[in-house]
Amino acid sequence: MTTKKTMLSAVQPTSRLTIGNYIGAVKNWATMQADYDCLFFAVDLHAISDKRGAPELRDQTYRTVATYLACGLDAEKSTLFVQSHVPEHAELAWVLTCHATMGEVSRMTQYKDKSAKHGDSIPMGLFAYPVLMAADILLYDVDLVPVGADQKQHVELTRDLAIRMNNHYTPGWDGKDPTKVKPALFRIPEPWIPKLGGKIMSLQDPTKKMSKSDADLKATLFLDDTDKDIEKKVKSAVTDSGSEITDADDKPGIRNLLTLQSVLTGKPIPEIVAAYAGKMYGHLKVDTAAICVDAIRPIRDETARLMADRGYLDQVLKRGAENARKRAAMKIAHVYDKMGFIPKT
């Protein structure tokens, strides 16, 4: 039995991973995995909340897992799997759907942003997405969920649902009097957001988050972009009026480049700014491009190597799913029991 706290996080295999997914999420998972009992997975069930073709989904799912490994996730230390290999995620999602309210789910900012392009035909899956995410987390009694800033609201919804269900099905769970404490139905997870880099911005519109499914390919640095593409994209990044390199609210484009540099080199932003005194935006772009090339190149090369070895990826996923399924089956049986479902014989 491990005494480590449990940590869980995931990426949607909707497209190739971006430097935003890396800095806001996967890079931190790799550093933290030694200290936690970790579950990392590709949320393929989430990815179909916006339609895509079967070959694309399959390829992106493998690519997501290969990228995880290339970014330093270790299949010997962490449980790596694919969401659809553990059917309990969908089962618990239905249970939570019956306890969530339309009002609280419709307040989710990401839903408002992502549904805007669908007019009157918003897929229900897009609406229910945060409830499935809550199931992903609550299924494993998770302590910590490292995410980018855009997902904080979803972790807060997860906490609200867990507290609601604990109060209903395990009343007294949170008693401050230790003699009254009962085991809760669900552990209440905490979000973890990096102090810097929790929201890397689009290179073409620095007021908008960099997203892997942005239609404008120049807006996004993918973790398998060529060196030339990275250089071109960073050099054509939209910057701000003026010419002084400062970290200021009215210079979101410059701030984004400074953030990329700072997270990837470990240098504090004021030190980077000081080094550019009297220099032009062009200098900042050239250096940022070189730093991004150095960070992305090994990830790209290792991802390509792993993508050519499907047998190995399948082996990693099989082991991960077996481990995750054991934990998930125990949890769902406990939840069903507390809710009054007749046990399977």
Query: Which residues are catalytically annotated?
Result: 114, 209, 212
Give the residue with the Cβ less far from ligand AQP, 189 or 198: 198
b/e burial code for range 76-95 (CB count within 10 A of at least 16 → b): eebbbbbbbbbebbebbbeb
Nearest approach in angstroms of CB 244 to ligand AQP is 25
Give the residue with the Cβ less far from ligand AQP, 134 or 200: 200
C-alpha neighbours within 13 Å on the C-beta side of residue 272: 26
Give the residue with the Cβ less far from ligand AQP, 17 or 335: 17
Residue nearest to ligand AQP (CB): 24
Nearest approach in angstroms of CB 169 to ligand AQP is 29
Nearest approach in angstroms of CB 206 to ligand AQP is 11
Report which of 276, 229, 225, 232 is spatially closest to residue 251, judged by C-alpha positions. Answer: 276
Give the residue with the Cβ less far from ligand AQP, 68 or 173: 68
Nearest approach in angstroms of CB 128 to ligand AQP is 15
**Rounded distance, CA 308 to CA 192, Å?**
34
Binding residues (CB under 6 A) for ligand AQP: these are 11-12, 14, 18, 20-21, 23-25, 147-148, 150-151, 198-200, 209-213
How far is CA 204 from each of CA 143, 167, 253, 286, 336, rounded to the nearest angstrom? 36, 46, 9, 17, 48
Report which of 205, 55, 50, 188 is spatially closest to residue 116, judged by C-alpha positions. Answer: 50
